[in-house]
Amino acid sequence: MSCERLDYVEEKILKACERAKRKREEVLLLGASKSVPAERLRDFFQCGLRVFGENRVQEFLKKWESLKDLPIDWHFIGRLQSNKVKYIIDKVSLIHSLDRQSLLEELSKRAENIGKVQEVLIEVNVGGEETKGGVEPSNLKGFFEVCLKAKGIKVTGLMCIPPYREDPEEVRPYFAMLRKLRDELEEEFKVRLTHLSMGMSHDFEVAIEEGATIVRIGTLLFGSRV
């Protein structure tokens, strides 16, 4: 069943890439594995899924311990409290949710302490929703400039969680906005920002058409969770 679900998602990614005239290799499939038991992740790993993203530090640490015999590429994709950074800084390759100065300082300090350059994405609040984290689009350039001066971290792109809409086409403008913001940063600061982490189970195909390089798929892979 796990392999069938993975094949189904892979097929959808491939078709979206073809529509956008992109190569399949340009899009990383991340299994958004919040609330999914470690042994199910082991099944998916055996089917070929290599990248998993967790939202909660405590849950992540338990899974990391259970699955450390596997060369999983772990990402952290949820809201991250500054006081939890020390627990994950040596265990994840990419943090998707940098959105404030205090977190930047803690990430920078903790990464430097272990001699690491931690790759991060800046989360942007593209829908201006009060219930979500993320830097306001109007503040992005200023925050990015601060990030460029920080040691121990490297910004490799942007992430967003747009407002939920039944019709994925209605989400397209938010994905286009994130891509435009990324392009503007690259142009102004003469840097390369590889990643756009955008698109989840119900809208990832539209996200791919708009330039996503990482899609965070949960329900479509693992089924509904509490």
pTM to 2 decimal places: 0.96
Helix or strand holding residue 188 (H, E):
helix 172-189
With 70 as the cut, is the pLDDT of residue 99 above it?
Answer: yes
pLDDT value of residue 226: 56
Contact by Cβ (8 Å): 117, 111 = yes
Check residue 12 and give its pLDDT.
Answer: 98
Between the CA of residue 49 and those of 13, 137, 173, what are the distances in Å?
14, 33, 29
Per-residue DSSP letter, 137: G
Dist CA 11 CA 167 (whole Å): 21
Residue 131 is predicted with a pLDDT of 87
Q: How confident is the model at residue 1 (pLDDT cuts 50, 70, 90)?
A: confident
**Cα–Cα–Cα angle for 101, 105, 111, rounded to 5 degrees:** 140
Is the pLDDT at 184 greater than 80? The verdict is: yes
Place of tokens 């005239």: 21
pLDDT digits (tens, 9 = 90+) for 109-165: 999 999 999 999 999 999 999 888 999 999 999 999 999 999 999 999 999 999 999
CB 49 within 8 A of CB 73: no
Per-residue confidence (pLDDT) for residue 103, from 0 to 100: 98
Q: For 19-75, how does the pLDDT look when each residue is reduced to its tens digit (9 = 90+)? A: 999 999 999 999 999 999 999 999 999 999 999 999 999 999 999 999 999 999 999
Report yes or no: 210 and 173 within 8 Å, Cβ to Cβ.
Answer: no
Q: Judge contact between 106 and 87, C-beta under 8 A.
A: no
Cα–Cα distance measured from residue 217 to residue 13, given in angstroms and rounded to the nearest whole number: 11
